[in-house]
Structure 1
Amino acid sequence: MINKKKTGLCLALAATLIASSALCGCQQSDSSTSAKFNSDVKDASKYTADENAQVYKTLDFSDEQEKEFAKKGFITAPDTLEIKTESGTVAWSQSAYDFIRNSSTPDSANPSLWRNTELNSLYGLFEVVDGVYQVRGYDVANVTFVKSDNGWIVFDCTTSSETAKAALELLESKFGKAHIAAVVVSHAHIDHYGGIGGLIDEKDVADSSLPLDEQIKSGKTLIIVPEGYEKAVMEENVFAGNAMKRRTNFQYGSLLDKGGKGSLSVGIGLTPSSGTTTYISPSYEVKKATETIKVDGVEMVFQLTPNTESPAEMNTYIPKYKALWMAENCSGTMHNLYTLRGAEVRDGNAWAQYIMEAKELFGDKAEVVFQAHNWPHWGNDVINDYMANTASVYKYIFSQTLMYINQGYTSTEIANMIELPDELNKVWYTRQYYGTLKHNVKAVYQKYMGWYDENPIHLDELEPTEYSKKLVEYLGDTDKVLEMAQKDFDKGEYQWVAQITNTLVYADPENKDARYLCADALEQLGYQAESGAWRNAYLTGAYELRNGTKNYPNYEGSGATALGMSTETMLDYLGICLDEKKLEDQNLVINLEVTDKNAKYLLRINHGVLIYSQEKWSDKADATIKTKSAGILGIAQNNQKLMDAGIEKVEGNSDIIKTLTSSIAEFPLYFNIIEP
């Protein structure tokens, strides 16, 4: 495993980890203590069973409107569903969730999350209204098909081409061969664009250089996206892509077994597929706040909703069908103002206001609301309540957090104080299956106040391992600490036990007793969690403490998204990939020609820092590089195949490429998270 101890660790991370890392296992536990701890997966404790039983007293399980909506309009589905890649690996499996169809809620699962998993495990082709159809349960996101005069308009594409292709085949099994007139990608997340290659071929896409009316007349497939889409795609999925991929293991439980003691739903769906991701650049960006476009006989009214669930997102109203597409701004769960995999904090106030704007624009007309996740909602009264309640949740989190901020409370204090109004708390589609009140409150705090709480102790804290070791010197015997922690575990104090034992792990990762007890505490927290994302994080942490990461698969991303970057974004990415400390004694000037973009740049390595501009080339450059875009990506990833395909000519310093590639940082696939 990779040791990621660093001096100068950012205080936001330090503050988080210090709460869960503070002792040192300098003394090994004796055999009598060790006998109490092991790496086995455990049953739910009595405290966990009692905690989960209380959920039945909080929520009205006799209210089955959401279940009725999840089943409504079912047309067809295969008896079993397992989708494989060309190499034979499983990209998606509904069979993995057969347990949810064949058993009752166990003590090891929050009954509310279990119910949500039951609804998300329903799969097949569904009618939204006559002319609008969804394939659900083929990925974490839906594929929606809207009938047009001569074919179909597709809304969103799932995560991988294999699942999107299977969804299209299911539609065609009912309606015949499908011509796709347009693809509308609602926002810049991979589970909405990554499967596009399973629906259309890039050669059939309309020419983005043509005006919109000429694109439509061409008969080729339009790809319609919101303004800022490509920038958001690249910055969110590439710049921090390796770290997000690793953290996604925790958020989505992608490496956990599915089951009553394993991964369940994540609220917006079961889990993302793991097939081949693809990327095709859009042909048209919607740039007006509201814009009406008619494609193949279908009029669509687009409403831009920037900085809501994604930096670039849009809703769509389809008058012909009285159907309102809410992208991912509404769904069957409280969503994230901050997503656990990592992303820019979202604006809860803007989110609420754009939902209300949609209600104002279309709420009196719409007879059905449908979206990229979960299931539709029918009936004008239901729709307007659905939007108002969803908006109220995000507005409440925004306004109440700021109220408490102005009273002087810190992020953690507010997260432990705030509660939703009782009636909103009981609404099934605002339950905390994906986002939670606690981490959304912290997102609002972060957006407005940043990581610092003005306590100067937190300005330059010790990094977690050093803090932990020092604290152990004060606390002394780790056997005694473990004995006390076991007693607290037996009393159901799992959060505290997880924190104190993870402290021991941070000080001494070889302390197996601390690892096992910490894992046991995390496991019980996971069993109690209503949020699927929290459950996955707890159970993945428990797994890694018990087993490490040695059994995880070794895989690489397809790079399809990265290849779609603009030249400037690709150069920024190169700067991220360079370990600039290795170049700090270098001052170089490079003339760069990107031949497939017909663009020239002047690059400088200035005391190791890569900066660039489109100013005039230097007569005294150390080197001149002529390359396709793929060559830049090849250097950034130290990928010889991409460099061979992209780099056309190097003049001047012939070692310039080697100088750059020898300074590329290592991005380990499974860096440590739950230990140093």
Structure 2
Amino acid sequence: MKMTRRNFLSTSAVAALACGASLTAHAAGSTDENSLNFITDIFKDPTQPGEIEEATAITAEKNAEWYEKLDFSDRRELDNAARGLLDNQEGRVIYNDDGTTAWDLQGYGDLDRDAPDTVNPSLWRNTQLNAKAGLFEVCDGIYQVRGFDMANATFIRTNNGWIIFDVLMCKENMQAAKALMENRFGPLDVKAVLYSHSHVDHFGGAEGAIDRNDVADPSLSIDKQLASGKTVILAPEGFLKHAISENVYAGIAMARRAQYQYGTVLEKGEKGALSIGIGMGQSTGQVSLIAPTYEIGEDVPKLTIDGLEIEFQLTPGTEAPAEMNAYFPKYRALWMAENCTGTLHNLYTLRGAQVRDANDWAKYIIEADQRFCDKTDVVFQSHNWPHWGEEIHEYLLNTAAIYKFIHDQTLHYMNQGYTSNEIAAMISLPDALEKVWYTRQYYGTLPHNAKAIYQKYLGWYDANPVNLDPLPPSDAAKKLVEYLGSTELVLCKAKKDYAKGEYQWVAQITKELVFADPSNQKARNLCADALEQLGYRAESGAWRNAYLMGAAELRNGNLSGRARTANGLTNSMRAMTVSMLLDYIAILTDANAAQNDDLTLNLTVTDENEQFYVTRKNGVLLTYPGENRPDAQASVTCRRLQLFALMTGQQAGQVQISGDATVLKRLLAYASKFEKTFNVIEP
């Protein structure tokens, strides 16, 4: 049942009074079941899944307070986001070949009005900026297509053609971005593609920018590649290793978690998904990986591509394990990859990834400031919009400061004995940094970034031995409910706290009821209501999505089957080296199931000219590169993609096997099938 805010307040008051009466009766030994049922049923039929609610009066009031916290009259970021617009594409829809949408900016509705009560006003403003889509001039010779995917596609003119720096996540989006450029500048002769770092939203759309058949031969030296007339693909050192390990090794787990981070089943708009700080969310087209033809190392500080000089700055371990900034002297332009993004970024991303080094991140930004700032007229990057002129030094300084602050203050508190959760609750920015729009918490947040630093230095253990080996969540929840006694009374108290706006606590206590008994729809509904209000208040788009996804799955069950995500994990896996393929076979293997099936084999991969001795003992698969041993039970000779086909259950063609013919089959017999459908908000 839908209520006005006045009705909500009055029923909340009634709920609080009735709950108090029921608890009094319970204390006297005579629980009033009618009162209890009245409380738990007061907003909706508690046996049925709940529906999306309006913002409560408390949420609306908390959101309104943001107009006092931040200076909404400061329009500098609004002006920067709009500067240089050549072709407005707001409301753009990009389609897949099958007619489904790869990208849809229309679904967000009218963003030009004031923030509704269901949205944090700061996030609403960031959404307005990220929704600005089209072709923009960074400076004469450098152009960006923004708002066509989570990231930007950047086009830089060379003497006779173009360089593309980052190629979006999906082929369809990149094709649309390239077409927009060609509509103004004519056919693009792409001399080189540069990947700034090893995250899929920067390399997955490569096939929308270039043809694989036109790519330079990676066996050639970089000078010969550049002279060949083919398209060179450059990336920072370690790119391929990290692109594969992040997107494949833990890819299924990350994909399911990403459904929460990006809100992939949520409706868009004021009660659903909005900006995530670095863009409007995930595109849902075709992903692929065209491997770099050359990885830039410290030994290659500069390159000239078709007459255009580029000076590189490697920044490993910052926003990605392999990342690089670049300076273009001709244009007096500094590319900051994803090290500066117009928002506080993640030191730990909610979908899961390696913790990033905040201290090094700050130092690399300062290094860029020292090396390039006095000869730079514009700073631009792979997300959001550029900064020009007098803003540049301050932009770099404040962005470095935010990561250095979180790093240093977390360690400051750690060394006083505070735990991860305590530090997350304590840490707050200095007043001046708090008001800087381009370091606001739209993607990363102070609390979860502080926890990341704690994890990096001290790990998950808080030194309290009670927490060394805690019960699994469901077991702990069942014991907690047993100690609490009546779940109805717990829900009654939780309703009272909900009426007071204590949404985090309500979510925590009702989560325990759900994990103790997933069929408890009353607990699911109340937990969903609390998560929803937390989502409406969140400044971080990623936190908003996570809260609202949790609410949606509590009400409707596991929604992973409805999630639309980018396709093409298999295409990315095809770029795996032989060593990576063997590692992934080990990851797929259920070691306990295989513990009594020892084996040994020699593997020769003809097209890579590589040999491995592979052994499985006690269920553990180990590989010895560069070796073949005479005592192996079998010898297998194949090409790399034949091994990939075997691993993924495809037809592999003729593979040569000598010795025990069962060994290869047994090697793969204990592989688990990973599905991105596991539960998150319930056991």
| TM exceeding 0.5 | yes
Shift of 1:584: 0.3
- Alignment of 1:461 onto 2:470: yes
The TM-score normalised by the length of structure 1 is: 0.93
Q: Deviations over 1:482-512 (max 9, x none)?
A: 0000000000000000000000000100000
Q: Deviations over 1:350-385 (max 9, x none)?
A: 000000000000010110000000000011x20000
**Counterparts of 1:79 and 1:327, CA distance in 2:** 24
The TM-score normalised by the length of structure 2 is: 0.92
- Corresponding residue for residue 538 of structure 1: 547
Which of 584, 608, 631 pairs up with 2:595?
584
Which of 543, 548, 564 pairs up with 2:575?
564
Matches within 5 A, 1:602-617: 602-617=613-628
**Counterparts of 1:166 and 1:607, CA distance in 2:** 52
- Alignment of 1:168 onto 2:188: no
**Counterparts of 1:29 and 1:568, CA distance in 2:** 65
- Corresponding residue for residue 319 of structure 2: 309
Corresponding residue SS for 1:332? coil
Which of 441, 444, 447 pairs up with 2:456?
447
Which of 645, 649, 661 pairs up with 2:652?
645
Equivalent residues of 1:276, 1:558 under 8 A apart: no
Corresponding residue SS for 1:589? strand
Cα distance change on mapping 1:75 and 1:492 into 2, 3 Å: same
Larger radius of gyration: 2
Equivalent residues of 1:332, 1:429 under 8 A apart: yes
Equivalent residues of 1:158, 1:195 under 8 A apart: yes
- Corresponding residue for residue 335 of structure 2: 325
- Alignment of 1:382 onto 2:388: no
- Corresponding residue for residue 7 of structure 2: none
Q: Deviations over 1:610-663 (max 9, x none)?
A: 1111354233322222222233333433x2x2xx23662233333334323331
- Corresponding residue for residue 28 of structure 2: none
- Alignment of 1:244 onto 2:250: no
Matches within 5 A, 1:32-51: 32=38, 35-36=41-42, 37=46, 38-51=49-62
- Corresponding residue for residue 81 of structure 1: 92
Equivalent residues of 1:332, 1:430 under 8 A apart: yes
Letter in structure 1 aligned against 2:623 = Y
Corresponding residue SS for 2:321? coil
Q: Deviations over 1:585-619 (max 9, x none)?
A: 11101111222212111110111111111354233
Letter in structure 2 aligned against 1:384 = H
Equivalent residues of 1:587, 1:608 under 8 A apart: yes
Matches within 5 A, 1:500-511: 500-511=509-520
Which of 516, 520, 526 pairs up with 1:517?
526
Equivalent residues of 2:643, 2:652 under 8 A apart: no
Matches within 5 A, 1:178-257: 178-257=188-267
- Alignment of 1:358 onto 2:336: no
Equivalent residues of 1:635, 1:660 under 8 A apart: no
Q: Deviations over 1:36-84 (max 9, x none)?
A: 3451100000110011000000000010110000000000134742111
- Alignment of 1:52 onto 2:63: yes
Letter in structure 2 aligned against 1:352 = A
Equivalent residues of 2:378, 2:388 under 8 A apart: yes
Equivalent residues of 1:563, 1:629 under 8 A apart: no
Cα distance change on mapping 1:289 and 1:478 into 2, 3 Å: farther
- Alignment of 1:68 onto 2:75: no
Unaligned runs of 5+ in 2: 1-32
Q: Deviations over 1:276-301 (max 9, x none)?
A: 00111111111117711110111111
Shift of 1:557: 3.9
Could you say which structure has the greater relative contact order, defined with CA pairs below 8 angstroms and 6 or more residues apart? 1
Corresponding residue SS for 1:264? coil
- Corresponding residue for residue 4 of structure 2: none
**Counterparts of 2:476 and 2:656, CA distance in 1:** 51
Corresponding residue SS for 1:666? coil
- Corresponding residue for residue 29 of structure 2: none
Equivalent residues of 2:314, 2:324 under 8 A apart: yes
Which of 387, 400, 414 pairs up with 1:405?
414
- Corresponding residue for residue 605 of structure 2: 594
Equivalent residues of 1:279, 1:564 under 8 A apart: yes
458-467 or 350-359: which moved more? 458-467
Cα distance change on mapping 1:594 and 1:419 into 2, 3 Å: same
Cα distance change on mapping 1:81 and 1:317 into 2, 3 Å: same
The number of aligned residues is 644
Corresponding residue SS for 1:99? coil
- Alignment of 1:371 onto 2:378: no
Shift of 1:33: 5.1
**Counterparts of 1:461 and 1:497, CA distance in 2:** 22
Identical aligned residues as a percent = 51
Alignment RMSD (CA, Å): 1.7
Which of 664, 671, 675 pairs up with 2:678?
671
Corresponding residue SS for 1:559? helix
Unaligned runs of 5+ in 1: 1-26
